[in-house]
Amino acid sequence: MSTPAGAPADAPATPVVRARNVTKAFGHVEVLKGIDLDVAAGEVVCLLGPSGSGKTTFLRCINSLERIDGGRIWVDGELVGLAERGGRLHRLTDKQIAAQRRDIGMVFQRFNLFPHMTALENVVEAPIRVRGLPRAQAHERARALLERVGLADRAGNYPAQLSGGQQQRVAIARALAMQPKLMLFDEPTSALDPELVGEVLSVMRELADDGTTMVVVTHEVAFAREVADQVVFMDGGVVVERGTPAEVVANPREERTRAFLARVRAGEAG
Amino acid sequence: MSGPQPPREAAGEVAERPGRIEAVEVRHPWRWVAVAVIAVLALMLAHLLVTNDQFDWGFTLEVMNQNIVLRGLLVGTLFTTVCAMAIGIVGGVLLAVLRLSDNPVLAGVSWAFTWFFRAVPRYVLLSLTGGLGALFATGLSIGVPFDFLLTQWFGTPQLRLLSIDQQALYALFGGVFGGIVGLGLSEAAYMAEIARAGLLSVDKGQHEAAEALGMTKRLAMRRVVLPQAMRVIVPPTGNEVIAMLKDTSLLVAIPVTTELFYRVSQIKNQTYEVMASNMAAVLYYLLATSLLMVGQYFLERRFGRGYGASPRRPAAAGVSLGPGGAK
């Protein structure tokens, strides 16, 4: 309904994310009015759009941090938050939802590192407690991940002793430690000082190059243009326009997309 | 930028550094006056404590050394404090979790418990628990509820695992156990509010981050939320422990006699050495409170991890701290 110029082509294999006609309201405010999305394995999708467009809410629906009111979301072929049994839909229990989330990594705008744990403890916590990984193996993997995000020498530091950019990189390592099939990024650089944005984006760029499946809500148009395979522009709870960065970012068809990009660029220039 | 600009050095020119300022510091004569006044007052107090013959320190020490006083301190005061606080802390955290649960019945139970036990004065409550034995004329059993009705209707045998007769119940509730139960339940009601404040102080993002990693709500509570809440819970809990230590003197309402102040009072009433006897109790309470404060210091340090400045075991973790690391 809200997808202009044809729905996305059906991917050959099971898409990592498939969303159909997703709706969500907070009270009387409808924030998602029928969102469709397909994310193929290894694909990087950037969700762009003004504040209040519903992009963060949609992202949070993918790992059940928000409950959807209508439509369906599948992750890796499995229905999110619901199960169909005997022709009826059943809500999943907290435990079942927790099990689904193990395979979905999430990075938050405000990092949300555990402040009472060191960087290393943050990264090993879920693999040990949730996956039941042996301690030594979890530590080994965590050190490798901290190395990968350039923070091997900060393993023993508490979050309060790290800069915003370093905290966000630890948060990325923490999510990767669960070896997720999918990584969700909710405006990962919006809370950072401008000079720290680059270090986080470059880690994300490396992840994308390594073939990580990513859905990224961002205001970084340059990142979307260079890294995304698919750019989705949302406004007012609907998808206004979608396509490759060359189409949506470089050559938008819709007036609303053009206006948004012009505003963002004016902001970047100023 | 507008406004006057400081003079700039030409590029490459080495500026001559200005000398250190040599100025007379501001003087604070009134501070010295205050010190003098306090010194005089302290001397007066010391003089009173040493020379007034109402204070018989030798007698005080003797009272502190009496076996019945020591037993009272250990059993009625310290042991009761530890047990009642254990019930209070565990119960309080449980009540807070119930209170914050989505289940309205559980939240209501927690609310009602807190309502009752905060409303009844501890002294009254202890006299209540002390007489609980009277409620159970046929004793108290653990087993299937209402099994006597089943016996009456279906002729099934009694379904009881453990029974205590009334005589034993009187002894149990009329002793230190009754005091621990009364003080512990009362404490749980207060601790519930402290724990609730602690749990609510933890950012919602922490729940979300834990759950996004696949933790169940229970695991997230245990590993992520509670340890952070402890930072807020510990300082007022220290207060509660000290208050509990002092409230054990209310055990007389049970009535329990193996308690510090009761024993001291007995000696006081027999010898009429009022001040000297009372000072024995005061010194023991001071001593115990001081020890508790040391314990609280270490607890606060433990749960303040990550909020101070030093990284954890930097050497063991193989980490070198660069100067630019902290923000």
Q: What is the mean pLDDT of residues B293-301?
A: 90
Kindly give, in sequence order, each residue whose CB lies less than 8 Å from that of residue A268, ignoring residues fewer than 6 positions away. Answer: A221
Q: What gap in Å lies between CA A174 and CA A203, rounded to an integer?
A: 13
Q: How far away is chain A from the Cα of B201, in angstroms, using its nearest Cα?
A: 13
A114/B contact by beta carbon, under 8 A: yes
Q: Give residue-wise pLDDT tens across range B122-156.
A: 999 999 999 888 888 788 888 888 888 888 888 87
Beta strands in chain B, from DSSP E residues, in sequence order: 140-143, 160-164
What residues of chain A, 27 to 56, have a C-beta less than 8 Å from chain B? none
Q: How far away is chain B from the Cα of A159, in angstroms, using its nearest Cα?
A: 7
pLDDT of B321 higher than 80: no
**Out of B215, B306, B327, whose CB is closest to A163?**
B327
**To which H or E segment does residue A94 belong?**
helix A94-101
Q: What gap in Å lies between CA B156 and CA B147, rounded to an integer?
A: 8
Nearest-CA neighbor of A7 among A33, A39, A38, A46? A38
pLDDT of B318 higher than 80: no
> A-chain residues within 8 Å CB-CB of B211?
65, 98, 101
> B-chain residues within 8 Å CB-CB of A65?
208, 211-212
Q: How many CB atoms lie within 10 A of CB B43?
A: 10
Q: Give residue-wise pLDDT tens across range B238-283.
A: 999 999 999 999 999 998 999 999 999 999 999 999 999 999 999 9
- pLDDT of A193 reads 92
Chains A, B: CB contacts within 8 A come to 111
Q: Give residue-wise pLDDT tens across range A45-100.
A: 999 999 999 999 999 999 999 999 999 999 999 999 999 888 899 999 999 999 99
What's this model's pTM, rounded to 2 decimal places?
A: 0.80
Average pLDDT, chain A: 92
B327/A contact by beta carbon, under 8 A: yes
What residues of chain B, 262 to 281, have a C-beta less than 8 Å from chain A? none
**Rounded to the nearest 5 degrees, what angle is found at the Cα of A207, between the Cα atoms of A202 and A209?**
95
Contacts 24+ apart (CB under 8 A), B197-202: B197/B232, B197/B233, B198/B96, B198/B229, B198/B230, B198/B231, B198/B232, B198/B233, B199/B96, B199/B97, B199/B100, B199/B225, B199/B226, B199/B229, B200/B100, B201/B228, B201/B229, B201/B232, B202/B228, B202/B229
Q: What gap in Å lies between CA A60 and CA B127, rounded to an integer?
A: 55
DSSP, residue by residue, B131-143: TGGGG-TT-EEEE
Q: Which of A103-117, A248-262, B75-89, B312-326 has the lowest mean pLDDT?
A: B312-326
**Could you give the ipTM of this predicted complex?**
0.90
Q: How many CB atoms lie within 10 A of CB A147?
A: 13
Q: What gap in Å lies between CA B309 and CA B327, rounded to an integer?
A: 10
Which three-class secondary structure state does DSSP give residue B190?
Answer: helix
Q: Give residue-wise pLDDT tens across range B161-219.
A: 788 888 888 888 889 999 999 999 999 999 999 999 999 999 999 999 999 999 999 99
